[in-house]
Amino acid sequence: MNVILKEKIRPFYNFFLKVSGQLFHRGKKYICPFCGFLSNDLILIGGKADVLKKYEAIGAGRRRGSCWNCQASDKEKLLYIYLRDYAKIFDGSQKSILHIAPEFHLSNQILRCKNITYTCGDLFAEGYTYPNYVQYMDLLDLQLTDNIYDIVICAHVLEHIPDDKKAMSEIFRVLKPNGFAIIQVPLSKLLNKTLEDITIQDPKIRYKLFGQKDHYRLYAQCDYIKNLKDIGFEVEVRNISVENMKYGLNPMEDLYICHKK
């Protein structure tokens, strides 16, 4: 199914999921931090590629993670819980945030905060529609001044970019000293070395090797952290998922909080 067709049927599919959730999946095990829906289980999401299963990929792979009512994913909920309950960005203080490829529900929460200067950017892809608050932005060449954002959010973007280290350096450049970036990618703790080949253009081969047809790599955790540190970040690996399982988070998924000193 092509991208344009998927975009056209998405509202109908989401409506179907919402009705199914209301009728068959109500319960008390999980609560969505965005919409408050209570359910006994979550929507099955994630890729089915063999490589994801083989290397126990985190942030990818088949799992139950999305809300039946609003379809917020486990990855999006994880970001929100950290920003709300740990970083406390909604405390009313002034701050500036750059959000690359912004997640819909998280963006809606941040947009409500008048104290936050909020910039959203994405590399517009053919066949997709984008909210009017999202501007065209190339992560390999951010047309932005140095040291201007307190926080940068960039989740599951780098695996789509051939020169991921350049993208990391751009995030570092626009981040203020003492600011932090949350940079998430699909990765494996079993791999000793990142699986990568940016020369491969065949979507079928990319799917087989990296788990998704538009990915250039599947990260090894050790490589990923080293690359971030080489850019200049101090990397804090933090798991808040286990203590927040009521929100339907993936207990294996850590946050990669990258500090600029």
- Within 8 A by CB and 6+ apart from 28, the residues are 38, 40
So what's the pLDDT on residue 5?
A: 44
pLDDT tens, residue by residue, 186-226? 999 999 999 999 999 999 999 999 999 999 999 999 999 99
SS3 193: coil
Q: How many alpha carbons fall within 13 Å on the CB side of residue 118?
A: 20
Domains of the chain: 73-259 (3.40.50.150)
Q: How confident is the model at residue 153 (pLDDT cuts 50, 70, 90)?
A: very high
Q: How far apart are CA 172 and CA 168, in angstroms?
A: 6
pLDDT tens, residue by residue, 157-173? 999 999 999 999 999 99
Number of H helices, E strands in the chain: 7, 14
Q: Assign 3-state DSSP to the chain and report helix, strand, coil percentages, each to 5.
A: 35, 25, 40
User: Taking a C-beta distance cutoff of 8 angstroms, is the pair 17, 68 a contact?
Assistant: yes
Alpha helices in 55-174 (DSSP H): 74-81, 104-111, 164-174
So what's the pLDDT on residue 129?
A: 85
The reported pTM is 0.92
User: What is the pLDDT of the chain when averaged over all its residues?
Assistant: 94
Q: How far apart are CA 232 and CA 174, in angstroms?
A: 13
